[in-house]
Structure 1
């Protein structure tokens, strides 16, 4: 028996595509339940799920009054009947062998969690959205995040998108930390590794995550990600709850901000900030020019997308640090 848990909230734009990819799975439907845990959506999301639940008996709708992902996952895990649990995201599409491959590999590898590559795409393809999509799959944008940049072989990693676990994993390592509005998957995976567990990524299947398509929402999302990196470490009291790559944008922003502040005391220190900005500008321009030429993308939108990703992420982390003294 496989239980699939999918937290949702106001997903009317994406939920049909997500459900259709679930229905198309080659996994036997008589051994499947799909739990959509809704944070009390105010758009058409709930109605769409109910519509599908009337057609497919394995689909159920659960309520999540707390409205955050970790509580949705815990509600789903505790309601699940399956020996194996998979987490999904409504902002995504899943290859038709997604369930069967992850379940098979979980057994073969005797791992505690198994995932696959998460490709980035956009629903509406324009020069701007294609640039955002490229940046979120590029090493200069996301660092050494293996599940975004791709793999050719089975690898042990520090985290995977979403996840596939035996249900007893949550008895051994604990449920999702409901203090964490974001980073709850990463923190859980770090907890598993810290206690001797294994997490593997496999190349046999994939999912497609649909990115934000406007610079405003793209900025807000990455700002919140950066802020919650700091808050995750604060709440868990574990520096290794995240990876080094999560703090690179913060270091970049600090390399710009600190010299400016310090130059008030000694003017020449401003030069350090200019050097950091110059190195970044050269690297950014070169990579954007290469991608624009090789992949026929818009150079300007690539530049802007990289800058937004790095600065909003780093600034969010800096704001998170500034908030720490005021958190009870």
Structure 2
């Protein structure tokens, strides 16, 4: 578990791992970054309170560095990635190990079940569970079990992780997709199962959501540069939308019919957002179009403005 500024969630996240119903031995390795809150103090206290919990330093605070440090310090034949923002059910490890055994897969994962508390968080969660917001990835919207390009978090065979050298420390974002791509290049199997459902807590403000999705777009462009041919239509849709909408808006200043493009996008997001939020409160439904548009535009702008230097090793970690 890589942790940075996670005072609010860390104790609950660790408790959920320690309360797993798995019959084998479980250990928790916390890779602790230089936090601005009491995360480091809390992690140390948790380690003192339970011998199953250990900490390792992550001086850079970057996710791939923390993951690799925690993996190196762990001892099990199965390695489960858990995030402090995620909430795993008691049967998570038991189910994952069973699916690993039944399928022969090298990494298994399930559904990223976004759930919010405030109206905006619930709007973001609604958008994240909808193809209109994030496309058709099964770990977002659900679906049948089977091989997948990537999965949420992941429960791995240690041997498979070691065979590809773990997470590429270059990737501040998209490190899961990139590492799973290398697993699949080796002929290994990444498996999605709807039997694993992990509660995810979305960003709480428009600014934080935009920063998150801008980072996703920027780093997904780096993956496309590193691994040509991996950018499919779903990943290209947001940057194409941004470029097309902006161009049509500029043309529309002189030729009004072109404004049908930005107006059509706005109408589609508004109506679509209301439809996917059916059953939610009016306060949530009113915010879903904003959440969807923020995700689309931030991802698309991030992809379009991603500098080539990122692929060469320059890092712009967004915390």
* SS of residue matched to 1:131: helix
Hey, what's the Cα distance between the residues in 1 that align with 2:246 and 2:276?
29
Q: 1:21: Cα distance to partner?
A: 1.1
TM-aligned CA deviation for residue 176 of structure 1: 1.1
Which of 128, 135, 144 aligns to 1:136? It is 128
Equivalent residues in 2 for 1:180-259, closer than 5 Å: 180-234=171-225, 236-240=226-230, 243-259=232-248
Show the 5 A alignment for 1:98-177.
Answer: 98-122=92-116, 125-151=117-143, 153-177=144-168
Deviations 1:164-185 (A, max 9, x none): 1111102323321111110000
Name stretches of at least 5 consecutive residues in structure 1 with no aligned partner: 1-5
* Residue of structure 1 in register with 2:299 after alignment: 313
Residues in 2 aligned to 1:293 and 1:37: alpha-carbon distance in whole angstroms: 40
RMSD: 2.2
Deviations 1:186-245 (A, max 9, x none): 0011111222221111122311111111111111111111111112323x24331x5542
Task: Look up the SS of the partner of 1:35 in the other structure.
Answer: strand
Distance 2:278 2:111 in 1: 26
Instruction: Provide the C-alpha distance between the structure 1 equivalents of 2:138 and 2:150, rounded to a whole number of angstroms.
Output: 9
Distance 1:118 1:141, change over 3 A: same
If the length of structure 2 is used for normalisation, what is the TM-score?
Answer: 0.90
Post-superposition, which runs of at least 4 consecutive aligned residues in structure 1 deviate over 6 A?
none
Cα 1:293–1:183 shift into 2, 3 Å: closer
Give per-residue Cα distances to partners, 1:232-272, cap 9 Å, x unaligned: 323x24331x55422221111011234456x49x955x755
* 8 A contact 2:114–2:128 mirrored in 1: yes
Q: Is the 8 A contact 1:114 1:199 kept in 2?
A: yes
2:74 to 70, 80, 92: 80
Q: Given the superposition, is the C-alpha separation of residues 219 and 60 from structure 1 closer, same or farther in structure 2, using an over 3 Å criterion?
A: same
CA offset at residue 131 of structure 1? 1.1
Q: Could you report, residue by residue, the CA deviation over 1:86-125 in whole angstroms, capped at 9, with x for unpaired residues? A: 1111111100000111011111110011011110012xx2
Q: Which runs of 5+ in 2 are unaligned?
A: 313-319
How many Å separate the matches in 2 of 1:44 and 1:208? 24
1:26 corresponds in structure 2 to 21
Q: Secondary structure at the match of 2:279?
A: helix
Matches of 1:253 and 1:185, distance apart in 2: 26
- Size of the alignment, in residue pairs? 311
Contact 1:130 1:297 in 2 (8 A): no
Using the TM superposition, give the Cα deviation of residue 83 of structure 1 relative to its aligned residue in structure 2, in angstroms.
0.8
Aligned-pair distance for 1:7?
Answer: 0.8
Closer/same/farther in 2, CA of residues 146 and 24 from structure 1, 3 Å limit:
same
Per-residue deviation, residues 24-83 of structure 1 (Å, max 9, x unmatched): 21123x611111111222311122222222222111010012221111111122222111
Q: 1:295 aligns with which of 280, 285, 299?
A: 280
What's the secondary structure of 1:180's corresponding residue? coil
Is the Cα–Cα contact under 8 Å of residues 114 and 201 in structure 2 kept in the other structure?
A: yes
How many angstroms apart in 1 are the aligned matches of 2:179 and 2:173? 11
94-103 or 286-295, which deviates more: 286-295
Call closer, same or farther: CA 1:128–1:56 in 2, change over 3 Å: same
* Aligned residues of 1:127 and 1:297 also touching (Cα < 8 A): no
Alpha-carbon distance, 1:288 to partner: 2.3
The CA distance in 2 between the partners of 1:260 and 1:205, in whole Å, is: 44
